[in-house]
Homo-oligomer: A and B are copies of this chain.
């Protein structure tokens, strides 16, 4: 995809890891004439300005909505409940609004409730990230080759959906549309559950050994499995509350699976354990690294 200027002014609300990394790529690929950043702390906005992520910064969302023809909501999902009604009042006709949150059903329903015709809301979930945070953590090429799932609100035109595809593809992503509910169920298993498993794992290890002992014995396995336990607490609190039903359902399956495992070990069920590990390792080898 050869990038072209898609927007006059992109407004990034929340210039953190994702918002900041989008900003870097938008600037590098010249996808917008101007990038405005909105955030809570001046310190983070200053970093974003200094790194060339944004051209202009503000902490007053209401002042920068009108001139923006693309608004990207990159703050934790709960804060969108305040932002969306404000955008619905102030955004100009023809504006494309997208969020980048990890859960999609609730936010699409909220957007459908608030946005009248003329403003297009498309939920977006770029499946990329690191455990870093803030504008300081933003990276170029973060989205390269990764998948982006779009969940358009009902009534959004095919033309606008095409623009959204074009935007994420310009960042190097493989884009597909999906039903928001189906998205949330799949992601509960493939993303939210692994995060919960990692948090719980780090918690148990932290209760068993002190940090010096952990550091001493930490091999690649421990580091890999707990890397995402360094993820921002606020974001994951919101995801848990927002996608609680599908998440609790897979967490309960996981809970039973752990019980099954220690029951096999306690019973010295050698053949069963071998078969269990063998089937799972074969499955895992079908995924790339």
Q: Footprint of B on A, CB under 8 Å?
A: 127-130, 146-147, 186-187, 189-191, 193-209, 211, 213-234, 236-237, 240-241, 244, 247-248, 250-255, 257-259, 261-262, 264-266, 268, 270, 273-281, 283-289
- Among B186, B205, B218, B287, the residue within 8 A (CB) of A193 is B205
Contact status of A251 and B257, CB under 8 A, knowing A265-B241, A268-B241, A280-B199: no
Additional A-B contacts beyond A189-B204, A255-B258 (16; CB < 8 A): A127-B219, A128-B219, A190-B213, A193-B205, A194-B201, A196-B261, A199-B276, A202-B283, A203-B257, A208-B250, A215-B286, A227-B289, A232-B281, A233-B274, A234-B274, A247-B262
B residues less than 8 Å from A218 (CB atoms): 190, 287
Number of copies of this kind of chain in the complex: 2
Kindly provide the distance from the CB of A179 to the nearest chain B CB, expressed in whole angstroms: 13
Contact status of A190 and B204, CB under 8 A, knowing A225-B198, A270-B237: no
User: Considering only CB atoms, which chain B residue lies closest to A246 in the complex?
Assistant: B208
